[in-house]
């Protein structure tokens, strides 16, 4: 039975991270921490790294913290929570950084209905260069209007 709980907690953590990505993106990245996110929209730098990557590091620390709670404090849900956050981070990196922004030249020829919708939603998000008036702050689950032709 513990395996079922483990899987449910893992999936719940993964899904909550989509909400956290949306919330963080809309209210924190486009809010009081815009100075960290701004270079992601403006590309006014020569480095492969962006200040925006700090958000990735923050969630990596959160994920590791839950895994350490499992390891050292015998908090068994810490492992599935930490791995759920980590798995979402991997998904986010694959979709956002590799597929959409091509930080690595992979997945260039993916062209199914989901890929086109996610790409379209992200393009609409990036057409707003300022921190205000943005739209579509999610990543993996975007509104259906972006999937229509």
CB-CB neighbours of 92 under 10 Å: 18
CA atoms within 13 A on the CB side of 148: 3
Range 10-39 average pLDDT: 88
- pLDDT per residue as tens digits for the range 69-112: 999 998 999 999 999 999 999 998 888 778 877 777 777 777 78
Instruction: State the DSSP H helix or E strand holding residue 61, giving kind and residue range, or none if neither.
Output: helix 54-73
Distance CA 24, CA 18 (A): 10
- pLDDT per residue as tens digits for the range 110-144: 778 787 877 887 777 766 666 676 666 667 787 77
Instruction: Please answer whether residues 102 and 108 qualify as being in contact, where contact means their C-beta atoms are separated by less than 8 angstroms.
Output: yes
Sorting pLDDT into bands at 50, 70 and 90, what band is 47?
A: low
Cα–Cα distances (Å) from 77 to 31, 68, 127, in that order, read 32, 11, 40
Rg of the chain (C-alpha set): 17
Distance CA 118, CA 27 (A): 21
């Amino acid at each position: 039975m513990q395996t079922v709980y483990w899987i449910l907690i893992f999936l719940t953590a993964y899904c909550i991270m989509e909400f956290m990505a949306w919330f963080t993106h809309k209210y924190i990245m486009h809010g009081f921490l815009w100075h960290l996110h701004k270079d992601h929209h403006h590309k006014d730098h020569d480095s492969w790294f962006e200040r925006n990557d700090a958000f990735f590091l923050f969630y990596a620390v959160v994920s590791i913290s839950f895994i350490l709670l499992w390891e050292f404090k015998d908090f068994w849900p810490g492992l599935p929570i930490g791995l759920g956050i980590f798995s979402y981070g991997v998904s986010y990196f694959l979709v956002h950084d590799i597929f959409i922004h091509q930080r690595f030249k992979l997945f260039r020829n993916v062209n199914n209905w989901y890929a086109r919708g996610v790409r379209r939603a992200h393009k609409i998000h990036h057409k707003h260069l300022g921190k205000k008036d943005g739209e579509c702050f999610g990543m993996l689950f975007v509104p259906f209007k972006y999937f229509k032709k």
